Each structure stands twice: as C-alpha cells, then as structure tokens.
Structure 1
C-alpha cells in the first residue's frame, strides 16, 4: 500500500474538485481521480491542476469493476474518498434510473473492488486503510420548524429518488463494515455552496440568471430551510474525518447556517447589488414558481459530534462564504459560459419554464 496515494471518485464534480485541489495545494500526496465526466463532471474544474505531477486523472465509471480493480492494483492507495454520485433532486424526479445505477450499483461495485483489494493487504496496511463515503443530510427526510436538527442517530426517512438512492448506498457502506470488517467512515453533509458548482443548483443558478437579467426562480413560497455549508469547510471536515475519525462511525457536517431559500436569494441579490450593480436591484428579478413534488421543508444538521470528537468547525460564516462565492463566479464567468450548453438550457426549460405552465 502506498501511503502517499489516495483514490478519489467523482473528483471532477463540484465538491470532489474542490477537495482534490485543496489536497494537492496542501501537499498531502498523490490523487488518483476517477470521474465518469457526466454533465456535472467537468475537466474545466481541474484546469488549475493541468500538468500537476501528483494528479492522475482517469475517465471512467465506478461501476466498471475491471477498471477499479486495475486502478487499485496499480496505484495501491491508502484511502478511497467516494464523492461520485448523481446528486440533484429535480433530476432524480425526472429520471431516477441514473441515480439507482450510479449511487446504488456504482457504490456496490466500488465496495466490492475495495473489499477484494483490502483483503490482499498486509495486516498493518489493512489497519491503516480507510474508505470514506460522502453522503447527504437528505437521507434523514424533512424536519418541522421546531424539530431538533439531524444527528447521526436520526432515523433515515428519504423522500426523493435521490435521497433514497443515497440512503441505500449509506446502508451498503455500513453493511460492508459490519459484515466484512472494511474500515469505513461516512459523512453526511448539509447543502454545499462555493466555486465550481454546476448551475442547476440554487446559488449558481441565481447568480447566472441575475447577471443575464433573467428571472430568479424560487420554489413555492421560498420558505424551505437548509443549513448552508461552504464547500472548502466541507473539504476540511472530510480531511479531518479521514485523518482521525473512528472506523465505522458517521459524522454529520454542517455549516450552522439555517436559511430559507428566499433569505439565500436576497443575500445573493444584495451582494450582487454591491459587487456588480445594475440599473435596478437584482431582487426585482425574483419569481416564484410552483413547488417541486415532495419538496422537503427543512433540513438542519447537528454537527456537535465532529466538533467535540475531532475539533472541527467551519471557518466561514454565511456572509463571508457567500461573498467569496459570488466573487468567484464574477471572476470566472467564462467557466459558467463554457458549461451552460444547449443541453443545460433544455434542462432549465424542462424543470423551471414548464412549471410556470402548470397549475399552482
């Protein structure tokens, strides 16, 4: 086993790319980056790593057992960090099959390949090896206004095809630890935001539309609550769990920033009014659209376990993280332009414009 090498799946996606970039900037060792490069996997996210000697990119599918076996045999990583997933609720409503294939079947094949690789290691290397599975708070379902935040012992109650597929993958990871002894760690995070996020998600979508003078769509009454986590804080938490987390344990990672969707959009508009003023306030572009099916009302993360056991806390508050995020998108509008293709515009038409034609 090579203690200087980790395998990252989905490392060309939003969170994965931020994790890979930060890992290499910190000089923590070589990253073998396996990504299928579906619509949200974007090599442009990794352009700062062009020709980086310790970044090995491989285009491929986690469900391709032969490929994963070959990569593990060749590179002998000391850890696997599994980000690869279909992750957008709206897409899971329109086409759930991809979510089952990637999140459930893909995770199963990755676990099987990992189990075979791990079994061949020496006793010392087996003890040192880690498999870190990155999941979501959406597996816990929805909270009422006065309910306590999700903890690691909250019962699973997924409400969308996306969250159900992630719940299934979480259960597989747990089972491989308890059945086979595989040294796993699971993290369940709240809503991430930051650089390189595909513009179907709320924050980059609002920034992109605002700069183009287009409507800013908000589901329902805008009162759905999420806990917002700056992506670089999420990456630092994963590094901490990988380094010091207890094998077999789950750690919830949150930003301690519960905000309604309308509050998020208002904050974005106000920052844009300051950094990129237009003739009128960007708030004038806010448009309410019919809610999506099964839209969970509130998520909230209790991150006390990771704070108390591992000493991790987010470095950014909501305002500072949002300001950094808006500044990044303003400075990198070519990145957004490069990925807002005809297929992306067709998706927007399917998901948002069509809703305006439906009865509320």
Structure 2
C-alpha cells in the first residue's frame, strides 16, 4: 500500500517508517521538521498540504502519528494543539474518505485516561485502566485534544464505514521524564514496564497490526502497553507496598536491582491493561518487565532506549507549528 505516515520525523515515525517499507509498503512521510523518512515538510493542520500530499503520492491508507504532545504544552499555546491534534485529524480523515480508503490508524495516548485525581493518586488502591475506563477527564490540553481526535475518528467511521483503529500508547519516549525526581531515568523506565511503558519498537509494530486489522474490525480503541504481570486483585497491594507484590511475581528482582544500584517502586498508582489489544489485534509486545530482568541477569543491553538529549520535531519545526495557529 501507499501509506501516508504523519509524524515521520518523530521518535515513533523514525522506527515505524522502515518497518512499513520492509513489509513492501510505499511510505510517504509528512512532518513539520526534516528527517530521513520525511518526504514532505508541512503540517496536518493545513488542508491544502494534506490534499496535495494525497494527490501527489496517490495515498491509499494513513497512519496518523503526528501530534503535539504533553511536553509541548510549555512551548505552544492551546490553539496550536487544537489546530494540530483536532483540525489536523479531521483534515486527514476527510481526505481519506474522499480517496475511498478502507483503513486509518491514529496514535492516541493513555494520558487522556488520567484525571487529576488519578494523577494525584488519591485512591487507596491502584487504578486498573482498560479501554472501558470512564469517565474520561483529561487534565490538560494535550489529553483534551487527543480525546476530541478520537471522537472524530469514531464519528467518521460510523458515518462512512472506513476502518479506523485508535491506539492509546503508553510511554515510549526516550527523554527524561519531566515531572519525576529519583530514581534515575533508566531505573524509572525499567519500573514502568510493570504498568505503563512499552518500547518504541513495540509501539511501531502495534501500528502495523492495527493497519492490517482495521478493515476487519471497523472501529476500535486499544491500549498499547507492555503486558503487565499484575491482576486486578493486586491493586490494593500495589498502592500499599508495590515492591512486595513485585517480589511475589519476580523473586529475583531485588537482587538484580540491587546489583545495579536500582530500587523497586514503593507504590504504583495505576496499571494499564493491554490484553484486549492482544485479543483483537493479535499483537503482544515483545518486551516486558521480564525482559528487563533478563538483561540485568545476563549483562545484555537494556531492552529499551534512553536519550536525555532527544529533541522533538515540534521543537525543530516550531515556526511552522506557530504559523498554523497564527
């Protein structure tokens, strides 16, 4: 297929584009910043740009991974999020329908499931989060606009029958977390594979699975995250003494962590359950917390990437993003 990949310069896009090409797809990358997998510099917020890309490259399907993200809140006004995340999604959906496409995949985020109360961890137990979680009360403009984009996808599929899959990805960014103190970044990322992280490689493969399944499924919203070892019955224990629960499932974790100078989390406030993604899309991430422990045990490289100096394409293409909301 001739696939339009938005966000092709981004962390996900740079891993997804070569995977699509290896499967025989002809990929056209669209982003606000240049990159090795980006053929068109422009914004999805411009309908003229979107229509030109569709016409010039005879696009047959879309993976919409381009967006402004949570770290962009400090760099761009709310209007930029509306223009890129909402209007941009509508532009792509309408162009795909006009072109007669049978499939469309959009990257969303588990962040939109996190209300301020969940973020503050006011509950006496960990919150178990799956696709049925409600009500959805996003706590910032990023979550608000991604939820609006999801609803546009839902409406368009219902009106036209085009297959649309929305993937709510958990954390896969390489940079340091912007809201947490200790533990160190690699320790924190390792811990998150228990409940709210996946590798960028697995995120890319999830999108490929969604692209293949979209016409069959029709419409679906799915969480993409490393499989958690926990059960719903663990939620009280995870909030009270997460390390004890982890030791129950992974008795070797303490010693392996201690040898590296790492610490297990004292408490876990939320857990993402991605089992429906495996059931419906036939996709299970290759990397989980057990993979992290195996690397620690054997001395192999950690199975995830960390880059504290990563710069997002939105920052590199800030002038173009700003023009869209001017």
Please confirm whether the aligned pair reaches a TM-score higher than 0.5, indicating the same fold: yes
Q: Which residue of 1 aligns with 2:9?
A: 12
Partner of 2:168: 188
Change (3 A) 1:298 1:168: farther
Matched, 1:113 2:95: yes
Cα deviation, residue 308, structure 1: 1.7
CA contact (8 A) 1:63 1:110 kept: no
Given that residues 226 and 298 in structure 1 are in contact (C-alpha distance below 8 angstroms), is that contact kept between their aligned partners in structure 2?
Answer: no
Q: How does 1:1-360 map to 2 (within 5 A)?
A: 4-24=1-21, 26-37=22-33, 43=35, 46=36, 57-89=39-71, 91=73, 95-118=77-100, 126=101, 129-142=102-115, 143=118, 144=123, 146-155=125-134, 156-193=136-173, 197=174, 199=175, 201=177, 227-245=196-214, 246-257=217-228, 298-318=269-289, 320=291, 323-326=302-305, 329=307, 336=309, 339=311
RMSD of equivalent CA atoms: 4.0
Q: Unpaired runs of 5+ in structure 2?
A: 231-237, 244-252, 293-300, 317-326
More strand by share: 1
Q: Is the alpha carbon distance of 1:90 and 1:60 closer, same or farther for their aligned partners in structure 2, counting shifts above 3 Å?
A: closer
**Aligned residues of 2:126 and 2:271 also touching (Cα < 8 A):** no
Structure 1 residue 318 displacement after superposition: 3.2
Question: Helix, strand or coil for the counterpart of 1:256?
Answer: coil
SS in 2 for 1:244: helix
Number of aligned residues: 268
Asked whether the 8 Å contact 2:177–2:185 carries over to 1, the reply is: no
Name the CA distance, whole Å, in 2 between partners of 1:131 and 1:150: 25
Structure 1 position 190, deviation (Å):
1.2
Gaps of 5+ in 1: 47-54, 119-125, 275-280, 284-296, 345-360
Normalised to the residue count of structure 1, the TM-score between the two structures is 0.62
Q: Secondary structure at the match of 2:24?
A: coil
CA contact (8 A) 1:139 1:163 kept: yes
